[in-house]
Structure 1
Amino acid sequence: MLRAIELAALGPEHDPNPRVGCVILAPDGTVLAEGFHRGAGTPHAEAAALADLRARGHSARGATAVVTLEPCRHTGRTGACSVALLAAGIVRVVYAVDDPGAASGGGGEALRGAGIDVVPGLEADRASALIADWLGTIRSEPEPSGVLRVILKTAATLDGRIAATDGSSQWITGRQARAHAHAVRAHTDALVVGTGTVLADNPSLTARPWGVESPHQPLRVVVGHRPIPVGAAVDRGDGRLVRVRSHDPQQVLDELLSRGVRHVVVEGGPTLATAFLRAGIVNEIHAYLAPLLLGSGRSVVDDLGTTTLGDAHRWHTRSIERLGDDVLVVATAD
């Protein structure tokens, strides 16, 4: 299983499909074949391993398939893996993580019903870590955000201000907090800001942990009707800029879903943050808090339509992390 997890890690991190690895073992434990999923539209890990098995001249009769994710039971752009394993003559399937998908899950039960020895849960924590975002989106269905995982990132003073009255906001948080935020960027599919943020701050929206650009750069998404100035830092001429000329957060998500995006970080100002929160499509908040007090200035969010404490938007604290003098609070809606 540890080898299967290594194989899974070779797959694309930023893809609509999960990273999965598979190892096929002979009855005596000898490795017969290996495979991993190379991205949406390509053979799943089990199919890739079976193809490798055939290429090596081996048979799957009496063999064991060790897979990081429960073999799927549905047919999409590729066939059902549970069916392929059964047809190949596999007699035992060991997998790490249950597939929670309504359409894709249940392959283990189907195999067990066909007389296959099925062992779930081996190294589940390690395997889950590779596909945490995918699991989050699948397990959250049906949430208002559909199949997108939306993180709202804020950086504020202790009294909830993101800028002073003169508009100055760089930098509220310190170097370690900013580096952490860039590391999150390096593992997301898209960054979302409004045109107001582009006009006020001229951000580049790149992922630069510790000042060095990450090999993976997320899509840069600008929401709103106002034009972006010529020469704006967000427009690098690399085809990674997405304009969504709307103020409707759901239209933003629909556009990103059509591009295969699974994981989004919203970094816009209060107007955009408020729109996403009021739409009920934020799954997680990353609140970076700096030990500063301004007493006035722009707040993290605007009017959320709440008039009494009993109607407050309540979240669940998942973690608290100190980053230099700053603190990161991660809160989730569920």
Structure 2
Amino acid sequence: MEFSASEQRAMRRALDLARTPGVPLGPNPRVGCVLLDADGAEIAEGYHRGAGTPHAEAAALGEAGADARGATAVVTLEPCNHTGRTGPCAQAMVEAGVARVVFAQPDPNPIAAGGESTLRAAGVEVAFGLMEREARALNRAWTFGMEHHRPFVTWKFAATLDGRSAAADGSSRWVTSHPARVDAHRLRAQCDVMLVGTGTVEVDDPELTVRDEYDEPLAHQPLRAVMGLRELDPDRRIFNDRAPTIRLETHDPREALDRLHQLDRQHVFLEGGPELAAAFVRAGLVDEVVAYVAPALLGAGTSAVGDFGISTIADTLRLRITDVTTVGTAAEANVRLTMTPKENH
């Protein structure tokens, strides 16, 4: 499809709007919208600010008022076609008199999809696919959840150069440096579930909140999920009031993810111990691996992952590296490796 230079500029701006910091994670995707007049000049813009707030298109239409008639709407996601907490954006565009709609990514949500057909049926010109790859990346976990009917799983672990997450006596604080831990909290904040097993809760007593570089909790906290059947002391820190917590009383990773999917959770940050990690790896339910590697050696101790059934080198689970970053400087430097299992992607 053909797109004008002004539409391309507007889509870049819409993507920037959708990335606006501070928007709480939730069941809805991040979306940005820019309205252009007949000469390609911007009339108005908007972005979705979280569940229950006006969608990006509605925000832009509200800012434009009567100037929306005859305009081109440039949106990062296909305008929705259903009534939820807010009305359908496709119909709002029709009623506002928008003449052309350009969107990046078709909506993979079957409940909300169909905006393109509604717009075309009303005589609105529609084009899509402009910067679709960038739009899909923006809502990576949400898109994955819609297409796979389960949350995207990032398994994060910290280990020494020889793959140990704890020493022989069980001590593990701290394998990695302070800059690496700050960076891990940054990644935690991009997810909407923090998942550990009952063993980690019993032994390490983590609070599992997201904190800033000053070790202060952020205003918006992901859901804390504890998976397993073991009885736990209700005074464990994970059950405090600093973030919501649920129990997933199962040993089956797929059952746990099904429950979280039913709760509209899109991105799980798996922070459990080696046995929980092995269970997810064994089930083929790890979509991304983030490893913080410290330039240190223990020689013995707990491995970062438990036995998941590989007994010969031919069956090695191979990972594709997508990013390598040095976190921290000089004596505090660690390496962050981001990888995906080759057979998953």
**TM-score, normalization by structure 2:** 0.81
Report how far residue 205 of structure 1 moved: 0.6
From 186, 190, 196, give the equivalent of 1:187: 190
Distance 1:303 1:219 in 2: 28
Segments of structure 1 that go 5 or more residues without pairing to the other structure are none
**Equivalence for 1:329:** 337
- 2:69/2:99 contact within 8 Å kept: yes
From 50, 54, 59, give the equivalent of 1:39: 50
- 2:195/2:272 contact within 8 Å kept: yes
**Equivalence for 2:312:** 308
Cα distance, 1:305–1:38 mapped onto 2, change above 3 Å: same
**Equivalence for 1:205:** 208
Report how far residue 22 of structure 1 moved: 2.2
> Could you tell me which amino acid in structure 2 is paired with residue 208 of structure 1?
R
From 12, 24, 30, give the equivalent of 1:19: 30
From 260, 265, 282, give the equivalent of 2:264: 260
Distance 2:177 2:263 in 1: 34
**Equivalence for 1:99:** 106
Distance 1:230 1:119 in 2: 52
Any idea what the Cα deviations from partners look like across 1:7-27, whole Å, max 9, x if unmatched? Answer: 535683301111212233333
> Could you tell me which amino acid in structure 1 is paired with residue 277 of structure 2?
A
Distance 2:207 2:194 in 1: 11
Report how far residue 299 of structure 1 moved: 1.2
**TM-score, normalization by structure 1:** 0.83
Report how far residue 28 of structure 1 moved: 4.7
Any idea what the Cα deviations from partners look like across 1:94-124, whole Å, max 9, x if unmatched? Answer: 33x3236263567558757856153652697
Report how far residue 263 of structure 1 moved: 1.0
> Could you tell me which amino acid in structure 2 is paired with residue 25 of structure 1?
L
Distance 1:119 1:240 in 2: 39
Q: Which moves more between the two structures, 4-13 or 268-277?
A: 4-13
**Alignment RMSD:** 3.0
Please give the residue correspondences for 1:51-200 in structure 2 after superposition, counting only pairs within 5 Å.
51=62, 53=64, 56=65, 58=66, 60-72=68-80, 74-75=81-82, 77=84, 81-86=89-94, 88-95=96-103, 97-99=104-106, 101=108, 103=110, 114=123, 116=125, 118=127, 120-121=129-130, 125=134, 130-138=138-146, 141-142=147-148, 146-200=149-203
Equivalenced residues, count: 323
- 2:78/2:107 contact within 8 Å kept: no
Report how far residue 155 of structure 1 moved: 0.9
Segments of structure 2 that go 5 or more residues without pairing to the other structure are 1-9
Any idea what the Cα deviations from partners look like across 1:295-328, whole Å, max 9, x if unmatched? Answer: 2221122221122222222221111111233211
Distance 2:304 2:314 in 1: 20
**Equivalence for 1:233:** 237
Any idea what the Cα deviations from partners look like across 1:255-291, whole Å, max 9, x if unmatched? Answer: 2222221111111101110111111111100111112
Cα distance, 1:109–1:229 mapped onto 2, change above 3 Å: same
Q: Which moves more between the two structures, 84-93 or 178-187?
A: 84-93
Distance 2:102 2:217 in 1: 39
- 2:24/2:49 contact within 8 Å kept: no
Any idea what the Cα deviations from partners look like across 1:63-92, whole Å, max 9, x if unmatched? Answer: 2112232334x4363665445434543222
- 2:106/2:128 contact within 8 Å kept: no
Cα distance, 1:233–1:119 mapped onto 2, change above 3 Å: closer
Report how far residue 48 of structure 1 moved: 4.2
- 1:187/1:216 contact within 8 Å kept: no
Cα distance, 1:70–1:202 mapped onto 2, change above 3 Å: same
> Could you tell me which amino acid in structure 2 is paired with residue 14 of structure 1?
L
- 1:98/1:105 contact within 8 Å kept: no
Report how far residue 29 of structure 1 moved: 5.1
Identity %: 46
Cα distance, 1:147–1:251 mapped onto 2, change above 3 Å: closer
Any idea what the Cα deviations from partners look like across 1:138-189, whole Å, max 9, x if unmatched? Answer: 4xx33xxx33111001111121111121111111111111111111112211
Distance 2:322 2:120 in 1: 36
Q: Give 3-state SS (helix, strand or coil) of 1:171's partner.
A: coil
Q: Give 3-state SS (helix, strand or coil) of 1:165's partner.
A: coil
From 235, 242, 249, give the equivalent of 2:253: 249
> Could you tell me which amino acid in structure 2 is paired with residue 295 of structure 1?
G
